[in-house]
A and B are shown apart, each in its own frame.
Chain A
């Protein structure tokens, strides 16, 4: 297939690997965008999910709001934000944070809410304070489910960060938009492969992280996908 060979040629062309706008630079931009987005989304969604799951209050609101957020089209938010706030990094990153929050929030909440009440009662009976119950019992038990949500969000963010190129930003989407403009399919297909590699690598890193932070007591549990 000459399409695949074209893609291979583009990927192996040394001029595509050096200088500004080259593959390593674009990959770094892509990773930086996704990293910042995931950091902000985790900082917003995890504490909120823990709080709601721990207290049991506002669960309906959280589920409803994340459902509505999921329905928001990222392209619409991206264009609207950049029109209202001007060009720059903030509008696309904000749009991607809104994309990443719902899966993390619902997974964290579900992880905490699904902890067996008997286990929490046992912890309380042992004299643990509410903070200790949260930190030593609920968080470790909820971690596999919450990490599932974070991995899910990371996949979506890395895939969707390509759209940021639509409003003249960098990242691997640049090749897609620029390639589309001149119908250069080798370049577009090449960028597709790079995004997929990035997504799989990120998922592998997060899976390793999940294993590393999992409490030994639940490491053999089947909750991990």
Chain B
């Protein structure tokens, strides 16, 4: 155990950039996938196009995208942009499907009820449809984030810095400890962020927790203090 104490600064810096490279694509991918999925759900022609297209995107090896994107985007090969764009593509590949499923999981009767209560289409989307789609959507987001955290490290092969740098550097210098530290930190990062998302999901779908919400509504209904 000599590598770790001497390289804490490096580890911290690489963890930071690793985190950035795995989280930003999920945010970007979500912003693109949600409207796309909303349009695709229930559409006879757009749905198969997006679902099959997304499945096809996922067959492209990550290393390949990292290499090809600089040529298409005109960026330097070691630029972080390539990794961000490539991973955003993968996130879309995962999320278009799960977001489409999510919107289709919303009970049409609930939507009709909202319309009957006078919600406009926009209000209904933000207040009813989107919140109800969150649970299924979140499952996709969690899959995408965990996959990303593991995939970011592949960028190290072409020289983009991340925790993967510890793998390539460790192999070149024959330091098993360096690689092991990289693997462990990657897994810890994945587990931690997954839990953060799980908690965020609980927060976003508070009506699903039966006990608490029930009592509160019951109290409110009987005029008691919540």
A71 to B193: give the CA distance in the assembly, Å.
11
A160 to B60: give the CA distance in the assembly, Å.
9
Decide yes or no whether B67 CB sits under 8 A from chain A: yes
Q: How far is the CB of A34 from chain B (nearest CB, A)?
A: 12
Q: How far is the CB of B29 from chain A (nearest CB, A)?
A: 18
- The reply to whether A76 and B182 form a contact with Cβ atoms under 8 Å apart is yes
Decide yes or no whether A162 CB sits under 8 A from chain B: yes
Overall SS of chain A's interface = helix
A159: B residues at CB distance < 8 A: 59-62, 64
Contact A73 to B59, CB < 8 A, known contacts A84-B176, A162-B64 = no
B41-68 near A? 1/0 per residue, CB < 8 Å: 0000000000000001011111110011
A71: B residues at CB distance < 8 A: 146, 149-150, 186-187, 190-191, 194
Contact A195 to B150, CB < 8 A, known contacts A80-B179, A84-B176 = no
A84: B residues at CB distance < 8 A: 176
Decide yes or no whether A62 CB sits under 8 A from chain B: no
A199 to B164: give the CA distance in the assembly, Å.
25
- The reply to whether B164 and A160 form a contact with Cβ atoms under 8 Å apart is no
Contact of B154 among A75, A83, A179, A188 (CB under 8 A): A75
A185 to B212: give the CA distance in the assembly, Å.
59
20 more A-B residue pairs beyond the given contacts A158-B59, A159-B60, with a C-beta to C-beta distance below 8 A: A3-B71, A68-B191, A71-B146, A71-B190, A73-B153, A73-B154, A73-B167, A73-B186, A75-B157, A75-B167, A75-B168, A80-B167, A80-B180, A83-B170, A185-B71, A188-B67, A189-B68, A189-B71, A195-B64, A196-B60
Give 7 nearest A-B pairs by CB, closest first: A71-B190, A159-B61, A76-B183, A79-B171, A199-B59, A79-B167, A192-B64
User: Chain B residues in contact with chain A, CB under 8 A?
Assistant: 56, 58-64, 67-68, 71, 146-147, 149-151, 153-154, 156-158, 163-164, 166-168, 170-171, 174, 176, 179-180, 182-183, 186-187, 190-191, 194
User: Chain A residues in contact with chain B, CB under 8 A?
Assistant: 3, 67-68, 70-80, 82-84, 155, 158-160, 162-163, 166-167, 173, 176-177, 179-180, 185, 188-189, 191-192, 195-196, 199-200, 203
Instruction: Report 30 cross-chain contacts, Cβ distance below 8 Å, ordered by A residue.
Output: A70-B147, A71-B194, A73-B150, A73-B153, A73-B164, A73-B182, A75-B154, A76-B164, A76-B166, A76-B167, A76-B179, A76-B183, A77-B183, A79-B167, A80-B183, A82-B171, A84-B176, A155-B58, A162-B63, A163-B61, A163-B157, A167-B171, A176-B61, A177-B157, A180-B158, A185-B67, A189-B68, A195-B59, A196-B60, A199-B59
